[in-house]
């Protein structure tokens, strides 16, 4: 496994880096770091919820240099946003690479409201349809959520924004607001069940550690365990 510090290749063609969350601060340490992913293949580079380190962070130059190398080997860049809150550094990276690559930003239409530039282009994600060259959008929730997980068939990977997180070496379904068992069992969990039919080995959450082996079993266990509340997690 190759590493481009502080961007690590966690599986063939899948790179990951972590940065301090720009907004989320709690009394516990969990969730203070967010993960971003870069996936390569078919002469394309796909970024998932990319967040660059702060301008004054000592890791900022290394992350930028790593992304420059990955982008330099691609002819196309797809910047994907799984949930509007994760627009993060999408605009900055679009501007960084738009002159040298074919670049598109993908996300729910509500993502556009979080752009600072009115003219920043957004390609809406449609569940069940392709997102760039390497991903397919998935629908979850009833009614359907703004969050759109992504399936990368060539990498056998699922990427999640907030719905599924990495915790304690496994996965959990994260509900940030209190919910009833009936609501979860009847309205939300059934929308995750179709994801278990996909051919995947890895789950890439933007909160917590990824699961790189036997991820279908881990996701099945997470759905069965019910929603997780960070407020009950020990420091």
Of 229, 190, 188, 195, the C-alpha closest to 215 is: 195
Asked whether the beta carbons of 196 and 219 are under 8 A apart, the reply is yes
- What are 89-109's pLDDT values in tens digits? 999 999 999 999 999 999 999
Q: Which 8-state DSSP code applies to residue 211?
A: B
What domain range includes position 52? 3-232
- What are 168-178's pLDDT values in tens digits? 899 999 987 66
Query: How many domains does the chain fold into?
Result: 1
Q: Which residues contact 106 (CB under 8 A, 6 or more apart)?
A: 78, 79, 80, 81, 122, 123, 124, 125, 131, 132
CATH number of the domain that residue 167 is part of? 3.60.15.10
Asked whether the beta carbons of 127 and 144 are under 8 A apart, the reply is yes
**Cis amide bond preceding 143, omega within 30:** yes
- Dihedral of the alpha carbons of 152, 158, 161, 162, in degrees to the nearest 10: 170
- What are 194-218's pLDDT values in tens digits? 999 999 999 999 999 999 999 999 9
- Going residue by residue through the chain, which has 235 residues, state the pLDDT in tens, using 9 for 90 and above: 344 468 999 999 999 999 986 665 555 455 578 999 999 999 999 999 999 999 999 999 999 999 999 999 999 999 999 999 999 999 999 999 999 999 999 999 999 999 987 789 999 999 999 999 999 999 999 999 999 999 999 999 999 999 999 998 999 999 876 677 888 999 999 999 999 999 999 999 999 999 999 999 999 999 999 998 766 655 5
Q: What one-character-per-residue DSSP string does 35-59 give?
A: EEEEEEETTEEEEES--PPPTT-TT
Q: What Cα–Cα distance (Å) separates residue 74 from each residue in 36, 77, 122, 146, 171? A: 18, 7, 20, 29, 32
Asked whether the beta carbons of 97 and 77 are under 8 A apart, the reply is yes
Put residue 43 in one of left, alpha, beta given phi > 0 → left and psi -120 to 50 → alpha.
Answer: left
Give the model's pLDDT for residue 57.
92
**Cis amide bond preceding 72, omega within 30:** no
Q: What Cα–Cα distance (Å) separates residue 186 from each residue in 38, 141, 180, 181, 193? A: 34, 11, 10, 8, 12
Distance of CA 187 to the CA centre of its chain: 23
What does pLDDT average to over the chain?
91
Name the phi and psi angles at 65, rounded to 5.
-65, -40
């Amino acid at each position: 496994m190759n590493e481009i510090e502080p961007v690590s290749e966690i599986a063939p063609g899948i790179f990951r880096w972590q940065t301090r969350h720009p907004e989320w601060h709690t009394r516990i340490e969990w969730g203070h770091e967010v993960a971003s992913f870069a996936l390569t293949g078919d002469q394309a580079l796909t970024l998932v919820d990319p967040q660059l380190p702060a301008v004054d962070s000592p890791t900022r130059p290394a992350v930028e240099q790593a992304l420059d190398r990955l982008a330099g080997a691609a002819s196309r860049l797809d910047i994907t946003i799984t949930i509007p809150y994760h627009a993060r550094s999408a605009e900055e990276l679009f501007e960084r690479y738009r002159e040298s690559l074919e670049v598109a930003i993908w996300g729910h239409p509500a993502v556009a409201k979080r752009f600072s530039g009115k003219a920043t282009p957004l390609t809406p994600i449609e569940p069940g349809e392709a997102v760039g060259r390497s991903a397919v959008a998935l629908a979850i929730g009833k009614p359907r959520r703004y969050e759109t997980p992504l399936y990368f068939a060539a990498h056998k990977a699922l990427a999640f924004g907030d719905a599924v997180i990495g915790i304690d070496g496994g996965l959990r379904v994260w509900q940030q607001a209190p919910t009833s068992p009936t609501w979860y069992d009847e309205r939300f969990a059934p929308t995750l069940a179709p994801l278990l039919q996909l051919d995947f080995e890895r789950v890439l959450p933007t909160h917590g550690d990824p699961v790189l082996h036997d991820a279908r079993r881990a996701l099945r266990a997470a759905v069965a365990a019910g929603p997780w509340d960070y407020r009950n997690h020990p420091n």
